[in-house]
Structure 1
């Protein structure tokens, strides 16, 4: 009997230990993101949400900088409180904005609802107490206190985008508000400038949450929410709850820690992603292939020179530079989010619109179609993809790979090899590309230039599970 009792106690301990381990794994999954264990290698593979995959597949978006800052020569550097009477875009037409988005090829658009000045582009019902008097005042630094009183630019923007199937989102600066003397999310302890209002930190946090609730409820489903500069620790928990309640499906830029659909900044505003650039990891760089967190990157950059976001009478970056930016972002597994800056009339300047269309025309002409093979083979457990052009040799100068990341990003290394028409024998292949991360899309422009080939193959030389290729194509571009 003693032996049986000991055995029962031993089995009971094993069961408890097993339950403890399973519970611990659930906590890890909850704390560090959803992942699976590869049956092939035993490593952790971060899993995306359906919303992240859909967002990543869009590839092109715009970030619309249009606010009171548009009407100042120094843009961001607001050292005083400019009057809201200056906001007078007398030709404002958001349909005009959307036409430029279509010409560029943007699939989604994020509009600055409130930037660092504190000026809000929509009506608000928020009222708050001043410090120390306690007097209740309205938040009067908005479009309703400008010559555009009675209009809601956020609604006009959403309505225009919906007509053309452009997904929408909003940028709201949580950490900056010059009107309320806030920097880095904190009310500053210093003398007020003319026009600034004095509030407590608790009041400021309450204003942020009330206005977020307004813009997250009045304009239906949002594709993306921008937390430029992040959020303070005191606002992290309430923003997390608010986001889960009102816009749980939205992609949250800089949103790791508050959203189940985070995206990360790439760490630069030049339109250049590192190579490799992984879909996983939460740092502002090329990511981490071993991270259990799926957090794809967004590459925001400007059309105007010198990192200018709001409209100024600034020269534009050349078409060649913008094509390079496309290849260094979308071509490196990063969403290209290009700034769109209406001028003081409320329209897109003609020279800006022309440059967006030129870039869109290049992308469509180069990558809208591919060179069709006479035969396509997939062998070696999906690790070798061969395009044959034996009937009619073709001239191509680049390749495009797209990985199906439904079950995570699994490719770790690959080569692209070509078989030249004048090869001495049928098994002679020349390697033209060696790469690592693929993800949503990897574009490789061959350093040896255009070649006349009978075949092109993708050889996946390292993966942490069986790879699934969504597309492998070759192109010839000017």
Structure 2
């Protein structure tokens, strides 16, 4: 038991988790050639997005409620969106901005102006670079590019690494020196999380936006194996993978799943990633296939409300601007998220226990009604309490449709089963229940009119520490 609760997040993981929702921008040579996976060696003259407006991109992401943006600085084709010193295959060889442009700089600057954090994606596979597949020589090349990106553009909140690994121009595959790459990130951007093929943030296992019924942050160390992750990632340029959801690996962190691994556990929280369109890059043929607000809001609730973060890709078009359909959906999504948060019901919070004779006491501080965000005083019940609970009582009966529960994850992930009950005419009925909580769990249910809501911690690994509880009123 102690081994499970002793596993805690790092400072960088805590800061990342609080971001909750951020964007991906896939843009580059593939945008110009209408490809998903370019083969490399395309003429740099093809890259000339005359209307490129990074401010429009970032502004649209912010309107959706996002807190950060990750840019594909280089995809598998090898074309660099910044003037790299170690390759001629970059924006410096293109006619865009007269060969003096830098997409990375423009996006990083736009992010700062809009108050969003900036992150980078640098594909480890390079289909143009001649040293790919040669071992140390390519690692030197990759580290040089990574160093450029981590030293020229200010603070970076994430380095997003996938495991793409195909043949280079010499017909060979590269064996990546992941430990060396991680060391460079730690040295140059110590506050950045290393995501997916990295030790800080775990890929959810699909690109469809599908979430697990229960997401655990404490998992076996073996899940950090970059080669295992790469093997389960996309390995061919086809559209099927984007909506593929496997049925295995549904339970990664229950006590049953961790049995036998108690001495080798890590804090490795999940990120849910998907695209607003069928593809990751913009394709004119998909302009009518932009996902709607309802679908994306559902993913948001399951991801941000399921102890995960939500990474949504939004690709600009060939002219360097987001299409109006994408912008409109993002604006609608932002309104939907803001409305959901604004419907938090004012309540008086009391805490109680399963100890006979306990009539309940006021929650110490503001946590009982604090959301979004954390209250200042987490609640830790008595260690001997068999059934700790939080009751939110309303001034009058209210129609409600969701409850938000969050743990103080600086103390680990402890809750193993939570039950939500509603009171009407003096009678309590069960509204929802779940197992894992972690940073945040949003439990939704059909609208019901009640005058109080009780959140009970029915099972936990050690004494739970609750950071927030809030009730959301039913929408119109």
- Tell me which interval the TM-score lies in, with the shorter structure as reference length: 0.7 to 0.9
Aligned partners of 2:5 and 2:412 also within 8 Å: no
Which of 184, 202, 205 in structure 2 is aligned with 1:264?
Answer: 202
Mark the CA change 1:280 to 1:299 in structure 2 (over 3 Å): closer, same or farther.
same
SS at match of 1:322: helix
Residue 158 of structure 1 is matched in structure 2 by 108
Cα distance in 2 for partners of 1:377, 1:229 equals 48
Q: Give the deviation of 1:401 after TM superposition.
A: 1.0
Deviations 1:262-294 (A, max 9, x none): 101000111121010112226375532446311
Deviations 1:450-475 (A, max 9, x none): 11112111000111122222211111
Aligned partners of 2:404 and 2:442 also within 8 Å: yes
1:301 aligns with 2:274: yes
Mark the CA change 1:202 to 1:54 in structure 2 (over 3 Å): closer, same or farther.
closer
Residue 53 of structure 1 is matched in structure 2 by 14
1:84 aligns with 2:35: no
SS at match of 1:66: coil
Mark the CA change 1:43 to 1:107 in structure 2 (over 3 Å): closer, same or farther.
closer
Aligned partners of 1:169 and 1:223 also within 8 Å: yes
TM-score by length of 1: 0.79
Higher mean alpha-carbon deviation, 403-412 vs 274-283, is at 274-283
TM-align CA RMSD: 2.0
Cα distance in 1 for partners of 2:130, 2:317 equals 27
Which of 187, 212, 225 in structure 2 is aligned with 1:274?
Answer: 212
SS at match of 1:241: helix
Cα distance in 1 for partners of 2:176, 2:398 equals 60
Deviations 1:340-396 (A, max 9, x none): 2111111111111000111111111012340111x210122272000112x311111
Higher mean alpha-carbon deviation, 457-466 vs 283-292, is at 283-292
Deviations 1:119-154 (A, max 9, x none): 01101111xxxxxxxxxxxx1110000112101111
1:378 aligns with 2:375: no
Residue 248 of structure 1 is matched in structure 2 by 190
Aligned partners of 1:230 and 1:254 also within 8 Å: no
Higher mean alpha-carbon deviation, 242-251 vs 57-66, is at 242-251
1:477 aligns with 2:446: no
Aligned partners of 2:186 and 2:192 also within 8 Å: no
Cα distance in 1 for partners of 2:176, 2:336 equals 46
Higher mean alpha-carbon deviation, 287-296 vs 454-463, is at 287-296
SS at match of 1:397: strand
Deviations 1:303-334 (A, max 9, x none): 01x3x010112121122211221122112111
Cα distance in 1 for partners of 2:39, 2:84 equals 24
SS at match of 2:79: coil
Cα distance in 2 for partners of 1:287, 1:163 equals 39
TM-score by length of 2: 0.79
Residue 438 of structure 1 is matched in structure 2 by 437
Structure 2: where are the runs of 5+ without partners? 166-173, 224-228, 230-248, 354-380, 383-387
Residue 403 of structure 2 is matched in structure 1 by 399
Residue 179 of structure 1 is matched in structure 2 by 128
Mark the CA change 1:407 to 1:44 in structure 2 (over 3 Å): closer, same or farther.
closer
Residue 91 of structure 2 is matched in structure 1 by 143
Q: Give the deviation of 1:180 after TM superposition.
A: 2.7
Which of 410, 413, 419 in structure 2 is aligned with 1:415?
Answer: 419
* Matched ranges for 1:455-466 at <5 A: 455-466=452-463
Aligned partners of 1:45 and 1:409 also within 8 Å: no
Aligned partners of 2:411 and 2:465 also within 8 Å: no
Mark the CA change 1:233 to 1:117 in structure 2 (over 3 Å): closer, same or farther.
closer
Aligned partners of 2:161 and 2:194 also within 8 Å: yes
Which of 136, 139, 158 in structure 2 is aligned with 1:202?
Answer: 136
Q: Give the deviation of 1:117 after TM superposition.
A: 0.5
Deviations 1:83-115 (A, max 9, x none): 111111101111111110111011011100000
SS at match of 1:325: helix
Residue 73 of structure 1 is matched in structure 2 by 34
Aligned partners of 2:9 and 2:412 also within 8 Å: yes
Residue 356 of structure 1 is matched in structure 2 by 330
Cα distance in 1 for partners of 2:79, 2:183 equals 25
Mark the CA change 1:68 to 1:335 in structure 2 (over 3 Å): closer, same or farther.
same
* Matched ranges for 1:224-235 at <5 A: 224-229=158-163, 234-235=176-177
Aligned partners of 2:25 and 2:314 also within 8 Å: yes
SS at match of 1:429: strand
Aligned partners of 2:182 and 2:194 also within 8 Å: no
Residue 192 of structure 1 is matched in structure 2 by none
Aligned partners of 2:350 and 2:392 also within 8 Å: yes
Residue 288 of structure 1 is matched in structure 2 by 253
SS at match of 1:120: coil
Matched length: 395
SS at match of 1:414: strand
Residue 333 of structure 1 is matched in structure 2 by 307
Q: Give the deviation of 1:432 after TM superposition.
A: 1.5
Aligned partners of 2:397 and 2:449 also within 8 Å: yes
Q: Give the deviation of 1:255 after TM superposition.
A: 4.4
Structure 1: where are the runs of 5+ without partners? 1-36, 127-138, 188-199
